[in-house]
Structure 1
């Protein structure tokens, strides 16, 4: 049973502001772990003005990437290797000709691939309070889903192209979000798939307090550390995530996660109980 509409009907809006500075952000949201939308903050970024599928095709280099599809959190997914420009061409063809297309480019280290694009974004108000920032891009067709999960880092999420719907839930409801034992680097997944919901298996899930928003190009959303979130693309979209770690977290949380991931890749930790390994 799909309960997305039901959750949206009972959800509350996320607080929205029109501007922010580093000091106010730290005091009112970062320290308090409170979500907030900075409406239109990124509208003047070069990325919002320039990035589209043709722009990516114009970049001089091609790169190897890894793709997922459908709900890549709750579904039995594995990464598949592809070429960046081949993927963009396929996505463009699907968009231009109204074709069904499900492949989704997730957590692309876009500035490692294309360092000349670094000046196209500005997370300075957030990065004033972090020591390390993992900035990644998300590119995909309408309908792509990231099922409920909680990132261990604070996440500043900028919508560059298209629209995306977020449903979020605080850490106060960790137990009734039904955390999964499935390994995900830097995150915890929920066992609950709200597109195929089993009320008998998750009887208290609908008692949680949810908040929701539809992000438009130029909007920036702060998802606090360990908050649960579900993301669905309404249109073909391009987004940027900035996962920020404080100095303390770099030498504690981040180091721990890297060790666990290394053990996982070597088959010593939750081997085959994950979504990160490439399909054969």
Structure 2
């Protein structure tokens, strides 16, 4: 599937797809100097294999530790479409992922789950210190989904993002913030993210001609036990090509944390109260809870 997907995405853009730079290992100082400080993405292939997460996390593992836990599951092409969420038992959602044969808008996804809130005992299983050593606040999330998940084009406005693929495989596409003028910014509000209107599952070359003619799209086929650094403001689009378990760290600098606690905090409060107006992704308060 990655080859077919890459060929399809290549057909949407005139410039050739470029592989993201890949390294095996790196020191904290070199990572800060060469990637974090320069706002430059990189794939790190050999620093996750010794994590406890890599050696013990699986769908069966989460079914065992997720008993009596509740959470939310998203459905469909996230960000480009309205977010549709369902509340229910964590274990039930894992079992749905195991059995899933859905495609397109019917695919369900345990996305952006606050892992240390739901499973605080897993803190020692992961190590995002490459980024977290240079932040004042961090947020760790877990992403568990079947083959076919899609997280559409967006960027993380206030945080550097480092993603570790624990099980399965994903294909991640990136576009530099220097090319934001080609990304058809969408004014809808999503906490922490800036959205693009470009829908890769319903691509219109006339509607998105600037993207097609000018964008330089980088990519990685992210395999098990590999990490990808997605710097702040870099546009990214993510496809799950297999049943996968991923975890990531959003790291906030001092300045971005202040922004989060002031202007962004107010927006999020209005968002979760359903008072932000119609121009936003659907709120949790409007979801139908399962029995």
Moved more, 124-133 or 258-267: 258-267
Describe the SS at the equivalent of 2:124: helix
Aligned to 1:279: 287
Matched, 1:28 2:34: yes
Aligned to 2:273: 266
Q: CA deviation at 1:272?
A: 5.7
Compared with structure 1, are the counterparts of its residues 255 and 40 closer, same or farther at alpha carbon in structure 2 (3 Å cutoff)?
Answer: farther
Q: CA deviation at 1:274?
A: 1.4
Following superposition of structure 1 onto structure 2, how do residues 19-168 of structure 1 map, counting pairs within 5 Å? 19-59=25-65, 61-94=67-100, 102-152=107-157, 153-168=159-174
Describe the SS at the equivalent of 1:199: coil
CA contact (8 A) 2:143 2:247 kept: yes
Aligned to 2:256: 249
Q: CA deviation at 1:60?
A: 6.0
The CA deviation string for residues 109-168 of structure 1, in whole angstroms up to 9 with x for no partner, is: 111111111111111222110110010000000010000001111001100100000000
CA contact (8 A) 1:33 1:225 kept: yes
Aligned to 2:209: 203
Moved more, 158-167 or 71-80: 71-80
CA-based RMSD of the aligned residues comes to 1.9
Describe the SS at the equivalent of 2:173: strand
CA distance in 2, matches of 1:14, 1:127: 22
CA distance in 1, matches of 2:252, 2:131: 10
Compared with structure 1, are the counterparts of its residues 276 and 212 closer, same or farther at alpha carbon in structure 2 (3 Å cutoff)?
Answer: farther
Compared with structure 1, are the counterparts of its residues 219 and 254 closer, same or farther at alpha carbon in structure 2 (3 Å cutoff)?
Answer: farther
Query: Paired residue for 1:6, among 5, 11, 17?
Result: 11
CA distance in 1, matches of 2:261, 2:108: 29
Moved more, 135-144 or 259-268: 259-268
Moved more, 198-207 or 222-231: 198-207
CA distance in 1, matches of 2:66, 2:248: 24
CA distance in 2, matches of 1:24, 1:255: 32
The CA deviation string for residues 223-263 of structure 1, in whole angstroms up to 9 with x for no partner, is: 00010000000100010110000122211245422211112
CA distance in 2, matches of 1:173, 1:272: 24
Compared with structure 1, are the counterparts of its residues 90 and 266 closer, same or farther at alpha carbon in structure 2 (3 Å cutoff)?
Answer: closer
Matched pairs, number: 276
Compared with structure 1, are the counterparts of its residues 13 and 60 closer, same or farther at alpha carbon in structure 2 (3 Å cutoff)?
Answer: closer
Describe the SS at the equivalent of 1:41: coil
- Structure 2: give runs of 5+ residues left out of the alignment: none
TM-score (norm 2): 0.89
Describe the SS at the equivalent of 1:135: strand
